[in-house]
Amino acid sequence: MAKKFLIIRFSSIGDIVLTTTVIRCLKKQVHGSEVHFLTKESFKAVLEANPYIDKLHTLKDDLDGMIAALKVEKYDAVIDLHHNLRSLKVKRALGVKAYAFNKLNIEKWLLTAAKINRLPAVHIVDRYLETVSTFGVANDGAGLDYFIPAHQEVPFSHLPASHHMGFIGLVIGAAHATKRLPANRLAQLCSLIDYPIVLLGGKEDREAGEAISAANPVQIYNACGRFTLNESADLVRNARLIISHDTGLMHIAAAFRKPIISLWGNTVPAFGMTPYYGNAQVRSHMFEVTGLRCRPCSKIGYDTCPRGHFKCMNQINLDQVNALAMQWVASKGS
């Protein structure tokens, strides 16, 4: 019997990308299924070209209006991959069987507050997949998905000629300051790298990108704020490798099976949101400063370091980051 599913994940970019394994596996493995997805309007671009979604619902401000529209769909089941008060309201209103993933909030609190690690060594993708196991859905090992509409691809002519033969994508943004290298350290990293660089980020990162690229505008191209999310994703897809903080473009890079050097500040890989490739063998290396008693200080992040020293980012060895990047650029394959 065919099933009509509603998957819920309101935000944000990286978290939504991490749900794409569930979307694909559910659609392909439950015969005749119809898969709908509910997210915020501001994140529509992440999923608008996904061929495994039959209908994409986007929430602006009117949750009650959205619930009324969803009731008309008559779902068989709701897959709640956000598990917050808003998704609970949707589930209660629809009144059908619902499956929610375990956010492990207690375990995360223990790690951030008491530095006691009781988190399972399980990636969040696999925890998401547990919500659909009752339908016989299993991990297909194909990793994450990201689909870019053809009209949002970036022609190489839009990049400087110096970058046409290859470039490193450096993601300088992140939602919270304690998840990203300070601007002076990003500039220092760029000065070490002897290879064309494209700086990636949103409009909020454009000013920092301009300051960093001003040191060497031929080598460093500031793409921050110049492109849409999907256009930035296309730049990620065409990069030789990606250097990134723990942020959405890192997960998009993993969806494209790009080699990733990730830099971890106040968050830690133990939270289960590292670059995810499924069964694919792709180079990935995580730089983090271990042994700090204050880390992780938050599961999300802060505007400034609570201790004032920001050792988790300031003590990352940039010479080692550069050496690894140059080694990967020099070698062939992933």
pLDDT reading at 332 higher than 70: no
Q: What is the rounded average pLDDT of the residues 85-107?
A: 97
User: Strand, coil or helix: what is 242?
Assistant: strand
Neighbour count for residue 169 (Cβ, 10 Å) = 24
pLDDT reading at 2 higher than 80: no
Calculated CA dihedral for residues 313, 314, 320, 325, nearest 10 degrees: 50
Give CA 328 to chain center in angstroms: 22
Q: What structural domains and CATH numbers belong to the chain?
A: 4-135 (3.40.50.2000), 155-330 (3.40.50.2000)
Structural tokens at position 272: 């289960």
For the chain, the average pLDDT equals 96
Helices (H), 176-238: 183-192, 206-213, 229-238
Q: Tell me the HSE value of 284 on the side-chain side, using a 13 A CA sphere.
A: 21
Q: What is the rounded average pLDDT of the residues 195-205?
A: 97
Burial of 64 (0-12, 13-18, 19+ CB in 10 A): exposed
pLDDT reading at 1 higher than 60: no
